[in-house]
A and B are shown apart, each in its own frame.
Chain A
């Protein structure tokens, strides 16, 4: 909300208060001055002069040499190219040392060999527009049509300087979306009297009914509707003081009637509308919801098709205004308008908001209604508008005021006590001060028994409901610096801690960090195309995703059902930036709908995604990470692997990870085809583990296992097997005959080629035997080995 200090000063005297102090006071009371605009701050040295003579410049066809009378500055000579001047004109002249609105400094000088003591000025050089002074809008020299004294300072004369605060008003204070509303606050803050605007006006035929009848059919959407007839209108320009204030607020002057409605909107915060009374068909106004399909063309020539959700102001034939948003073209004020009907109403903010949004039609009026207008101000604002009608001699005010009120206007009553207020604040604000503050904000306070009191809330303060609201009013004026620091001294002791699950997640991340993984965070929404890019067709479970109704873009339109695509894109981005190796993880949720379209909240499933890239990474380094990590997490069950068939993973280099019969995730190399599609050259390894499942398989406790005191025995076996036989197959066979003392079986060499038959491979294992009870007797291990070899042989695996 913009607040010109010159305008504010009309209601509260702030002339003796510096801009800095005022800004600071507003800030501490909840009104942040977001910007201070200092209009024409530096302009100086422009004075009123009379042109005494004009002669042709001796050396230039287009220039003239003028002798001017600058009053106390004496007779001066100005060289100019201006054509709109004549002898005897009063004009603004920037003298030697002057500064213009654009910051330019004026110096004495010679123009084509002739001395010039300064420069004639137009409105732009002075920093003003047509709204300030007639003739200031053009680009020629401004010629005064007033008899200003010679040598007078133009900046002062035309009051071109001002300071404008741009104030952030919080959503709970629509009453401060006006100059008067802010002035009320300033008066309370400074403890100074408020001079309200003049609401008085005189009128004729006040006993006669208004010739246009008004009927409100939907009292909920239109709690108050006031109307007043003004006849014998003269449409003309509004006075300069009004135009200037509109200009300060960034609003263009149109004509006296439109300007008055805009002025009242700014001053009182109440939108108004003026109908051409002679164009209101059937001499009746009906406020009703539109009929589905009904049409209206607004002032700006746009046609809208309405629904019953839109409140419409109608005459006998149809719509004449979109309630609270914009008037209709059919009843607009024109230069020949003779009679008008002022509308001043409260429309329900939700409805204005909804209609404005649905139709895509906004105006200053709708913006104001959306913030909330109170029914009390409706009448005040109408009076103010009529006062201005009279003051500007725009027309004759006539007939009874129409006032249809569909809600009670009464001051809310809050019964509370000074001690209750203090109990919220935690500090003792003396009763007398509490009372004074509330009174300065126009609350009426009646003291009750003990320290109780009743507060009558000003009618324009819809935001005040309960005593905590009063506490806020009191402390913001009393000063938040009175609040002390107390560390929950009177609070109950509670036992705060992380849950086991939260601790587990911390441990998971500790493990990942130890393994060299950096954590990444990606958006929870992706593009639907990402699924296609990763080879997931329409029927893939990943494609059953939650869709955002109003996404910021297609690339952020569906909620993730897998973390893999974002991980791969992250790796790809890093590779593009020549970050050629890395280990990344993301621990985030995926969103799995129970049914589509969504009827209840989806399952939010915690996932761990890993991404590994660089020349030292391969399928087995990733497998190692997964095994190490899950062992570090104390997974209660062994891991098994099965070949995975995942659209985006290399079919020969990918696996499902299974524990206790549950598939807890997949990992492997990114499918070469996907790589190609995404333009990735290097190999990338990705994993996605379902952390919710893993967390359930954690044992949570560590038990000590006895360590053998006896020497262990090792045996190496080189075996020849068919290529199709897997490492896991062989280990299984060895373990089947290894007995309880077989501690470990580790593959340490694989060989194919010379010396090994085609279609076969050589696999070398180291078997370690260890017993808790004894040292192995001579030949004891050998006899186990014999059994193992016999069993392997039966399964077509031979000793090499």
Chain B
């Protein structure tokens, strides 16, 4: 009997070792451990064993069962691992093949800049006001201290609808509307489209501006400089400086141009800043007393500053866009760069 057990163990071991797939392995399991399998047959032959030897033989047969079972399980795991491995190999892909995606869209670069500006100023307590694009002469000019036939009107070629209705030439028109409607303190940001009869590589008949206005009791030129420098640092990211220099706008007094350190050369002088180390980014000033008066705000009590930013100019500087017309050609290859 013991010999038979040994024999069975060896034959089982060798057939398990030769097996190469799970199906054969299962057949072996049935042949040895199944209901009519060889090992089961041994148990059936127990009645031929002497009663005193039965516990010992029983133990041996049982060990044989466990051993074959273990060998089967071990082999099964081996085979499964091999099968998985080959499955993985066959499912392997060329990871450099093109991606399947649904492409995201993009905001227009002008509006990216617009959003960044709003982001920077909203945190400082500015509200956003969007006035009409087709505007009354009164708001675009007269209340802003630019009466009819004022030479400053020559600075801006205006597109007219009627004698008194025009396409606003500046978002400053929103200033007067807000000041008439609300009492100070005011912190207003007014972005939008503006129009002028100008069309070449650096001028577009339609472009975008953002007007800023602060009216309060203790506002000075220093606040103007501080506010704009804080914004410009956010916009152009870096340790840049600003410079004020005298200019003229009818609705501010004093009026300044604001220059910022050239971000290309960091102030050393290059082609972008034409060797000056500075780049002109916006116009600003202390709100003219006449404008406050025109809008029923007491100029002896309140003072304020205003600034106007050309969004195309900022976008051109920020993204290195060489020609203003690119903004309005809307070529998909251009637009997608701003995702």
Contacts and interface: CB of A to CB of B under 8 A. Distances in A.
B276 to A, nearest CB: 9
A494 B304 CA distance: 14
Given A173-B248, A480-B256, A523-B206, A577 B331 contact: yes
Given A349-B149, A427-B222, A481-B243, A518 B335 contact: yes
A699 B91 CA distance: 49
Interface in A495-521: 495-499, 502, 506, 509, 512-521
B226 A487 contact: yes
B58 interface: no
A634 interface: no
A574 B330 contact: yes
Interface string B144-165: 0000110110110001111001
A466 B253 contact: yes
Given A426-B222, A552-B199, A601-B134, A350 B149 contact: yes
A514 B107 CA distance: 11
Interface string A540-570: 0000001111111000100100000000001
Nearest 6 interchain pairs by C-beta: A426-B220, A30-B246, A426-B222, A472-B254, A350-B149, A170-B248
A425 B221 CA distance: 5
19 contacts: A425-B220, A425-B222, A426-B221, A483-B221, A484-B226, A488-B223, A494-B187, A495-B127, A516-B103, A519-B108, A523-B206, A523-B328, A524-B167, A524-B206, A525-B205, A547-B161, A548-B160, A552-B199, A591-B134
Interface in B299-339: 303, 327-333, 335-336
Nearest to A501: B130
Contacts of A465: 290
Contact of B246 (A29, A509, A552, A591): A29
B125 interface: yes
B128 A583 contact: no
Given A468-B288, A546-B134, A519 B335 contact: yes
Contact of A513 (B107, B132, B221, B246): B107
Contacts of A491: 185, 187, 214, 216, 218-219, 223
Interface in B200-217: 205-206, 214, 216-217
Contact of A493 (B125, B227, B329): B125
Interface residues of A, number: 90
A490 B226 CA distance: 12
A672 interface: no
Contacts of B242: 485
A524 B195 CA distance: 9
Given A170-B247, A485-B225, 19 more contacts: A170-B248, A171-B154, A353-B151, A423-B303, A424-B286, A487-B230, A489-B226, A490-B216, A490-B218, A491-B185, A496-B121, A513-B106, A521-B328, A524-B167, A546-B161, A548-B161, A552-B205, A584-B332, A598-B161
A172 interface: yes
A290 to B, nearest CB: 18
B178 interface: no
A424 B252 CA distance: 12
Nearest to A492: B185
Contacts of A487: 124, 223, 226-227, 230
Nearest to B334: A518
Given A424-B220, A516-B104, A601-B165, A171 B229 contact: no
A483 B246 CA distance: 12
B111 interface: yes
B253 A472 contact: yes
- Counting contact residues on chain B (CB < 8 A from A), the size range is 35 or more
Main secondary structure of the interface of B (DSSP, over half): mixed
B247 A573 contact: no
B275 to A, nearest CB: 12
Given A513-B104, A598-B165, A480 B222 contact: no
Contacts of A602: 134
B307 to A, nearest CB: 13
Contacts of B136: 601
Most buried by A among B110, B246, B288: B246
Contacts of B72: none
A795 interface: no
A515 B197 CA distance: 37
A557 to B, nearest CB: 10
B148 A549 contact: no
B56 to A, nearest CB: 58
Contacts of B237: none
Contacts of B286: 424, 468, 471
A469 B290 CA distance: 12
A506 B115 CA distance: 9
A372 B151 contact: yes
Given A496-B122, A497-B122, A524-B206, A171 B335 contact: no
A709 B244 CA distance: 67
A521 B246 contact: no
B169 interface: no
Interface in A520-540: 520-525
